[in-house]
Amino acid sequence: MFVQPRNRNLAQAAFSTLALIYHQTVHNLRSSHSNAVVGLAMSVGQALAMVAGFYMMFHVMGVQRSPIRGDFIVFLMTGIFLFMTHAKAIGAMTGAANSTSAMMKHEPMNTAVTISSTGLTVLYQETLASIVILWTYHALVTPIHIENLQGLAGMFLLAWASGCAIGMIFMSAKQWWPAGISIISSFYQRINMIASGKMFVANVLPTMMLNMFDWNPLFHVIDQARGYAFINYSPRNSNWEYAVWFTLACLMIGLMLEFVTRNARSLSWSAR
């Protein structure tokens, strides 16, 4: 009665995997709150709180206009939305179910499903939250104009993908050193509050400060996103190719580390 059906061909295997990813994604979305609308409202509220906080901080500092000719709120949003997507992808992927989790004992489940569903959960939440906030600002406050919406969307996806790739490394390494990797992951996310460059414009940074930030793929992604959002800004000190290669390198390292960890897993790891 409890026999798991076997896939007879590649099409059935692909369909079964996609179905598992879908159901696991829905489970992840429902885990934060049983009501999907409330869960989305919580994501929107977090983004609004960060936008409002940075707006008040800039207001107190006496900065009331955008360093780039254009809407100051759009300048804040292009940095905050990408930063939150990147940081939440890292946090969610670090805490995703790994090869030693109890769920992996069930035959249909595997780490590919949990990794994919975790990433899609973050992408779904942050995309909807960004769309809701941008539409509300556009409809109720003032119309906004995005110079290149496709390019901006691409940078949003790149911020998400780079966060997932970095989070995969933390997720795999966490099984070998749980306490230490948790501290390192939290430190990386905190340092990105400044190192992401969401409060600065790369074109006007001095060389000393630029050298402090240009290692970070999120810094390049945010600066390029503002180049796509504003017609009057052309990024000179960043490039999206670096973020792409950085993401691919982290993805390969994460996959290899996860493969090694999965082959070396032991039930004694969970012993108390």
pLDDT grade for 36, boundaries at 50, 70 and 90: low
Tell me whether residue 239 is in a domain. yes
Residue 268 lies in a domain: no
Task: Give the residue, 14 or 116, on which the prediction is more confident.
Answer: 116
pLDDT at 210 over 70: yes
Least confident of 87-101, 212-226, 232-246: 87-101
pLDDT for the residue numbered 10? 73
Domain-located, residue 38: yes
Q: Is residue 30 part of a domain?
A: yes
Residue 99 lies in a domain: yes
H helical segments located in 141-238 = 149-174, 178-195, 207-213, 217-229
Q: Is the pLDDT of residue 100 over 80?
A: no
Is residue 73 assigned to a domain?
Answer: yes
212 within some domain = yes
pLDDT bucket at 225, cuts 50 / 70 / 90? very high
Residue 1: pLDDT band by 50, 70, 90 thresholds? very low
Weakest-pLDDT range from 5-9, 10-14, 216-220: 5-9
* Banded pLDDT at 69 (limits 50, 70, 90): confident
Max distance between CA atoms of the chain, in angstroms, equals 70
Neighbours of 62 (CB within 10 A): 6
Identify whether 49 is part of a domain. yes
Hey, how many other C-beta atoms are within 10 angstroms of the C-beta on 75? 24
Range of the domain at 61: 16-260
**pTM higher than the cut 0.95:** no
And the tokens for 32?
């934060």
Q: Tell me what pLDDT residue 198 has.
A: 79
Predicted confidence (pLDDT) per residue in 120-166, tens digit: 989 998 998 889 888 988 888 888 888 889 999 999 999 999 999 99
Q: Examine the pLDDT at 101 and tell me if it is beyond 80.
A: no
164-201 pLDDT per residue, tens: 999 999 988 888 888 888 888 888 888 888 888 778 88
Of 7-16, 82-91, 124-133, 167-176, which range is least confident? 7-16
- Cα(10)–Cα(213) distance, rounded to whole angstroms? 45
Provide the domain count of the chain: 1
> Which tokens in the block code for residue 271?
């012993």
End-to-end CA distance of the chain: 35
Q: What is the pLDDT of residue 90?
A: 92
How many angstroms separate the CA atoms of 50 and 36, rounded?
22
